[in-house]
Structure 1
C-alpha cells in the first residue's frame, strides 16, 4: 500500500489538535519511527472562532485565513488534509474548492459510521458548539441516511457550551460525571440511540465504557480515516 503524508490544520483548539496528533501516533501500527505517518501540522490557533463567524454570517473571515494554510499544505506536498474541528466543516465545500488536495470530511465519515452501526431511522443526539448545531451540517447528513438528529434543549446546550468554552478551552478540569450526565440524559430522557461527540474539545473528556458504547466520537473517526488514507494500518486493540 502506498504511503502518503498527512496535512493537519489545527489550533481549533490547540489542545484538541495535540490529542488528535497523539491519537494518530498511538493508533498507527508501527514498530519504529520510520513506520509512522509523515505529518505537516499547522497549529493555527489565531484562526477566527468558527461559532462566532457562523452566527455572525462572516464566513469569509475564516475562509480568508484558512486559505493560507491550504496553500502551505499544497506546497508541502501532502496527500490528504485532516481538520480536527467539527464546526469548521460548515465551510467544507468552500475549503475543498480552494485546493486539489483531498480534505477528509469528518462529518460524512462520522455519520457513515453511525449508519453502519445503528442503521436507518435511529435517533442521534449531538453534543457540539452552537456553531456546529446551527450550521445544520449534521442534520443535513442525517437526512441523507434517513436518520433523525436530536438537538439538546436550550438549557443543556448552554451547559455544553460552558464546558467547551469556560473549561476545556481554558485548560480547566472537567468532571467526567458532569459530561456523562448530559449524555445519559440524551440516551434515557430523549430516547436517543446514540450520541455524536461532535466537538474536539469534548473528545478530551474520558468516558466510562458503559456510556462510550453509545457514543460516536467524530475525532476518533477522523483519526481512523486519516491513518487508513495515509496507507497505514490501525493498531490491534
Structure 2
C-alpha cells in the first residue's frame, strides 16, 4: 500500500537480514496492490467497506500462497486491522501496537509522543488509543503543522518528488523542544522514505523499522 513505501520495506527486510547467501534470506510474497482506495479518504469518508472488499481478495491470494505472517507497510490501514484479521487465520503483524511497545521500552512509561501521520491515521485514533492503553501520552500536531506533514506525504513523496529532510526534522525538533514530547513516532510509511540525521533518530521511532524487525523475527 503505497508502491514506494512497499519497495523501501522490501529493501529494509533484505538489508536487515543476517545473510551470507541468497538462501539465508527470507522467502517473501510481495503483493503491491497500488490501485487500492486511498486509506485516508476511506476513513474520512466512512467508506471502509470499499477498501475491505478489495483487501479480502488480497488475503485470499496470500492464503493460497501459504504465507506464515502478513506484514502491512501502511499505518493508516491499521484502522481496519481487526476487520482484516477476522477474514483469515494468518497472523497480521500489528505495526501500531508493536511500535508503541518499542517506544515504551525505549522512552519509558508515561512518555509524551508526537504523532506524525496522515489525517486519516490521526482521525482514526489508532496511535493515540494505543499510547494511552500502554500508559503514554499522545500529542497530535496543530492544524498548520499537520498540513505541513500532509504536504510532505501527498505533494512530494506520493508524486515522486524528493522531500527535503530538513522540513520533517524541523517538525520533530519543535515537537521535542517546544511541545514537550519525549519522542516522535513516524507513523506514515511515506515519511519512512526520508533519510533522517542520527541526531533526529535519537528522538524518533519509525513504525516501518519496527515492522521490519518484527517481520524478520517472526519469519526466522
Q: Which has the higher strand share?
A: 1
Partner SS for 1:41: coil
**Which of the residues 106, 116, 138 maps onto 2:127?**
138
Q: Quick one: distance in 1 between partners of 2:77 and 2:41?
A: 11
Q: What is the CA deviation profile of residues 157-215 of structure 1, one whole-angstrom value per residue up to 9, with x for unaligned ones?
A: 00100000010000101111111111111111101000000000000101111111110
**Which of the residues 214, 226, 229 maps onto 2:203?**
214
1:52 aligned residue = 41
Q: Quick one: distance in 2 between partners of 1:19 and 1:116?
A: 25
Q: Quick one: distance in 1 between partners of 2:109 and 2:19?
A: 36
Partner SS for 1:183: helix
- Counting matched residue pairs gives 220
Q: TM-score, normalised by structure 1?
A: 0.92
Q: TM-score, normalised by structure 2?
A: 0.99
Q: Quick one: distance in 1 between partners of 2:105 and 2:167?
A: 29
Q: Which runs of 5+ in 2 are unaligned?
A: none
**Which of the residues 140, 148, 156 maps onto 1:167?**
156
1:92 matched to 2:81 = yes
* Deviation for aligned residue 1:143: 1.1
Q: Quick one: distance in 2 between partners of 1:90 and 1:219?
A: 16
1:22 matched to 2:11 = yes
Q: Quick one: distance in 2 between partners of 1:168 and 1:212?
A: 20
Q: Quick one: distance in 1 between partners of 2:162 and 2:130?
A: 32
1:75 aligned residue = 64
Q: Quick one: distance in 2 between partners of 1:199 and 1:58?
A: 21
1:195 aligned residue = 184
